[in-house]
Amino acid sequence: MPVCADLHNIGAIGFSAGGRWALATAMKNADVHAVVSLDSVMLFNDNVAEAWKRMPHFNLDAVRVPVLHLVRDAFAKQEDPKMWEAMRFADRTYMLFDAPALDHWDFQSIGYAISLAGVRAEIAPKIAANFDAFNRITLAFLDAHLKGRSFTPKDQPGIKVTHLAAQPAPLTTAELMNAIEEDGAEIAIDAYRRAWKSRGEPPIAEAALNLAGYTLLFAGRVAEGTKLLALNAEAFPNSANVYDSLADAYLAAGDKPKAVELAKRALAMLDADGTLTPERRAAIRGSIEGKLRE
């Protein structure tokens, strides 16, 4: 009988170093709907983590699916809790296995297999119980988030459970563009303002809204693109980049005096904008000066 797989409803599981790559898959692939970390280094703050964080795909805000982290006390002591907290748009379940006798390989079948063969016989029952527990928990978690079943883990002997609920996530660029295509820019902007009011902060990141505005400009929809970029300047009034972008919109509309006014405003704000890296600041300066030369 053929086995069918739903390639658009995937769970990513990572053991050891694989925990980082399972989480990275959720950052990049919208088909990943759940992540499981088995005694992994996912939350370590080491040199490899620093290199991982510099990769183009790395974005903890992009993790918007449930994450289950099963870890021993020995690894938990090496973790950076700020990274776990920073995954604010993901529903996070942390399960600490505090039995000191367990080792790293006991979160894989090899630990169970060698205990059956007589190695570490004195703690074989503990290894077997651990093997059964993490497999049952992983299956229940994936069934809950890939098949719609329930998952409510509780403390049990040797396992302590903590949970952090996901915060409401801002719209992505794709979601915003879909809303504009389906309902028009005005309705999408009204929805943005309502969400802004209810959340108390802009519901879309500055970069995402900027990209959406430029997408409309490049598509020849200058009036709509200008409205989005003006909204971005309203939402992020201390950003030099949003005024530089709005200047591009007015330039595309043929309003050069307004474009010059906005470009000069962006230039005046540029050095005070503490959110920019030196490279980004230099790129924005080049964009502003190019417009002013025109």
Which residue intervals of the chain bear CATH 1.25.40.10?
Answer: 173-293
pLDDT digits (tens, 9 = 90+) for 31-53: 999 999 999 999 999 999 999 99
Predicted local confidence at residue 88, as pLDDT: 93
Residue 11: strand pairing partners? 34
pLDDT digits (tens, 9 = 90+) for 266-284: 999 999 988 888 998 999 9
pTM of the model: 0.69
Predicted local confidence at residue 282, as pLDDT: 93
At position 44, the amino acid (one-letter code) is F
Q: Mean pLDDT across the stretch 116-128?
A: 91
Which residue intervals of the chain bear CATH 3.40.50.1820?
Answer: 10-164
Predicted local confidence at residue 1, as pLDDT: 57
The CATH homologous superfamily of the domain defined by 173-293: Tetratricopeptide repeat domain (1.25.40.10)
Average pLDDT, the chain: 91
Q: Mean pLDDT across the stretch 123-151?
A: 93
Q: Mean pLDDT across the stretch 216-230?
A: 94
Q: Mean pLDDT across the stretch 59-84?
A: 95
The CATH homologous superfamily of the domain defined by 10-164: Alpha/Beta hydrolase fold, catalytic domain (3.40.50.1820)
244's CB contacts (< 8 A; 6+ apart) are 262, 263, 266, 284, 287, 288, 291
In angstroms, rounded to a whole number, what is the distance separating the alpha carbons of residues 264 and 268?
6
- Radius of gyration (C-alpha) of the chain in whole angstroms: 24
- The answer, yes or no, to whether residue 10 has pLDDT greater than 70, is yes
Predicted local confidence at residue 40, as pLDDT: 96
